[in-house]
Structure 1
Amino acid sequence: MGNRTVIVGHDGSPTAGLALAWALDYGAHCGARVRVLRGWSMSTAPRPASMTRGYVPPLEDFEAAVLQDLRADVDATVAERDSDVEVVCEAVRSAPANALIEASHSADLVVVGARGLGGFKGLALGSVSEQCTRHAGCPVVVVRDEHSSDVERLRELDELIGE
């Protein structure tokens, strides 16, 4: 135990919150730290406070706005869980799936929600979670709803991932 890293993709959706809650419980169980990533682009980033009419701020201001939103989402879930797991938030200027897949190569586990904010609501699995399950460099947990966010089976997952 110890030194494990769990990556969580978080786009602000309800299932991303469930995925983070699951990762926090898992991290508490096995002593892992949790890295929460939010991929972003200019079209998906919130408007930074420095943006005014006729002035487009530098990329760093957009990244800071993304990170501020992500931290607000993460802080709410961490407070609910009363977790003392080490949590690091990162805004990555990249397609979300690409950011998670890249990060997976130096992680022990990736946790994502089944459906995010975009795409077609009728699909059981969103494009980001599907890409992660196909291309990640480590095991992937897909949290579908509040029932699948139960961490009772953590011992089985420990055996799958290995000590």
Structure 2
Amino acid sequence: MTESAQTSSNGPRIVVGNDGSEPALRAVEWALDHARAVGGSVTVLRGWTLSTAPRPASQTIGYVPPRADFEAAVLDDLRSDVADAVAARGEGVDVHYAAYCGPAGNALLEASETADLVVVSSRGRGGFRGLTLGSTTDQLVRHAACPVVVVRGARTSETERTRTLDVAVPSSE
């Protein structure tokens, strides 16, 4: 499902993956800045499954809502997660939102077939800490049908610790 937030654009089609993490938010900011500079449009995409989707308002004990209700809840969360970035950096940018039922890697690979550029963070919520690239990003840079930009996230104390060498400094005595 895709829905548009603004009017249509004829410039480059940019797809950005967002899982709700801080690094993914930086990827959205980069994509919005780039789209504004080149006159492109941005589609913010989130892959989801029943286990990762937020609870729809229609869900009650003993009733499992239809897939469309889960998808609508995912889109609501996605819009909420990126609202500040779109408000701050999205002026003049045609912004769309899309929810894909399935793994994020599959969603982004499929989107890369019609996009001019795909933007992702180096890693998102899942996986092992300390990896330079998450599995979704790794899959995308290897198999995408269009160019991919990987936006590096801020270094955490965990990543700093793995990159810092202990150097003994002789005393000046």
Question: Shared topology, TM-score over 0.5?
Answer: yes
What CA distance in whole angstroms lies between the structure 2 residues aligned with 1:82 and 1:4?
Answer: 15
Query: Is 1:16 the counterpart of 2:43 in the alignment?
Result: no
| 2:109 is equivalent to residue 101 of structure 1 | yes
Separation in 1 of the partners of 2:90 and 2:17?
20
Distance change (3 Å), C-alpha of 1:33 and 1:62: same
- Residue from 39, 42, 49 that aligns with 1:34: 42
The whole-number CA distance in structure 1 between the counterparts of 2:83 and 2:96 is 11
Structure 1 residue 52 displacement after superposition: 0.7
In structure 1, the gaps of 5 or more residues are 148-163
Residue 49 (structure 1) aligns with:
57
SS of the equivalent of 2:79 reads helix
Preserved contact between residue 2 and residue 30 of structure 1 (Cα < 8 Å): no
Aligned to 2:158: none
Distance 1:130 1:53 in 2: 39
State the distance in 2 between where 1:126 and 1:58 align: 31
Give yes or no for contact 2:44–2:98 (8 Å, CA) kept in 1.
yes
* Distance in 2 of aligned mates of 1:104 and 1:18: 20
- SS at 1:134 equivalent: helix
1:152 corresponding residue in structure 2: none
Structure number with larger C-alpha Rg: 2
**One-letter amino acid of the counterpart of residue 57, structure 1:** P
Residue 79 in structure 1 maps to residue 87 in structure 2? yes
CA RMSD of aligned residues (A): 1.6
1:154 paired residue number: none
SS of corresponding position for 1:133: helix
**SS of alignment partner, residue 35 of structure 2:** helix
1:75 to partner: Cα distance: 1.4
In structure 2, the residue matched to 1:61 is: 69
Quote the Cα distance in structure 2 between the aligned partners of 1:2 and 1:146: 33
TM-score normalised by structure 2 residue count: 0.81
> Which of 12, 15, 30 is equivalent to 1:4?
12
Do the aligned residues in 1 keep the contact of 2:105 with 2:137 (CA within 8 Å)? yes
Provide the secondary structure at the position in 2 that maps to 1:63. helix
**What amino acid maps onto 2:140 in structure 1?**
C
The answer to whether the Cα contact below 8 Å between 1:15 and 1:115 also exists between their aligned partners in 2 is yes
Q: Which structure 2 residues correspond to residues 126-141 of structure 1 after superposition, within 5 A? A: 126-141=134-149
The verdict on how the C-alpha distance between 1:91 and 1:82 changes in structure 2, with shifts beyond 3 A counting, is closer
TM-score by length of 1: 0.86
Q: Could you list the runs of 4 or more consecutive aligned residues of structure 1 that deviate by over 3 angstroms after TM superposition?
A: none
